Amino acid sequence: MPRLAMIAMLAAAPTTLVAGCLAGPYPVSWQAVLGILAGGRDYDPVWVTVVVQMRLYRVILAWLVGAGLAMSGVAFQGVLRNPLAEPFTLGVSGGAAFGAAVALGLGWNLGWAGMAFFPGLSVIPLCALAGSLLALAAALTLSRRSGGATRETLVLAGIVVSAFLSACISLFKALNEESTASIVFWIMGGFQGRGAADVWLYLPYFGLGTLVVWRYSRELDVLALGEAQAVQLGVDAARVRVRLLAAASIMAGAAVSVCGVIGFVGLAVPHLARMAFGASSRGLLAASGLLGGTLLVWSDIVARTILPGGAELPVGVVTALLGGPFFLFLLRRRPGGGS
């Protein structure tokens, strides 16, 4: 069953790529899409521009962000031993949203004059990434000063940090009414207007985070047995926990920095993958990455096509609509949840 499910997900990848390049208000035939993706350039130049410049990199970015959020969800749930943990839990997504809100509110959405070698680079992603890392640092500091960085104190500290940042965002919107619309649109999450620069911006953080969580995947399995058992088996639980949380936060924070806040992927996808592939961390990380990427590309396709006249929904709205019922499904599956 796990092998068949993995083969099915790998086989779905080309279909997802083509579907993502087909979706949009400007019609391009599927034969032309296949030809352009295969490297052919003997097509209408407008088609080539639409497929390559406007859709292909958007699909790649959506896949990378979905995979990154899903794998960070695996790490958060494993380290905190909490099935409802995700990038929001320690305030990582909230910190990134606050960083982006500050940049938008203060008008820092222009490229840096000093970034001559990176034209078009915006301050917004940098502020969002810095906000996510500062939020994680605040949660770790609070937990240590409250009796040690155990998973219980980490979760409580994360809730405090997340609530505080949410209040700061509301206050910032109230003080900068002219920027409220752009802040709200960013927080809802989306891939409209994203391109190759965003892919290259996110790729290093995705690669670094993936390498670290994969490197410590076996320790993640040991941590699932409990901290005492992990220490008996020679695992430095505190150090491994901080490294995994930092890697997961970098992936999630960088994702928010390029496309805004996209909820439920980090929560729901690890559970879906666990149902098909079991709880072994390596298999779970691989399956969650594939499933998260595919799910977010299809969510973006829905966001691009569900409204008439070429209008787009923020993809965060689509994932929230899908994630709400799934959250209720999870609650019913828990012992005493009614099923």
Distance (Å, whole) CA 143 – CA 139: 6
114, exposed or middle or buried, with CB in 10 Å at 0-12, 13-18, 19+? exposed
30-67 CB burial, b ≥16 within 10 A, e <16: eebbebbeeeeeebeeebbebbbeebbbbbbbbbbbbb
**Counts of helices then strands in the chain (DSSP H, E):** 15, 0
pLDDT in tens, 140-185: 888 888 766 667 787 888 888 888 988 988 888 888 777 777 778 7
List Cβ neighbours of 222 (8 Å cut-off, separation of 6 or more): 229, 230, 233, 235
> CB count, 10 Å around CB of 333?
13
Report d(CA 312, CA 330) in Å as an integer.
29
Predicted structure pTM score: 0.87
21-31: per-residue pLDDT in tens? 999 888 888 89
- Three-state DSSP class for 111? strand
Predicted local distance difference test score (pLDDT) of residue 119: 45
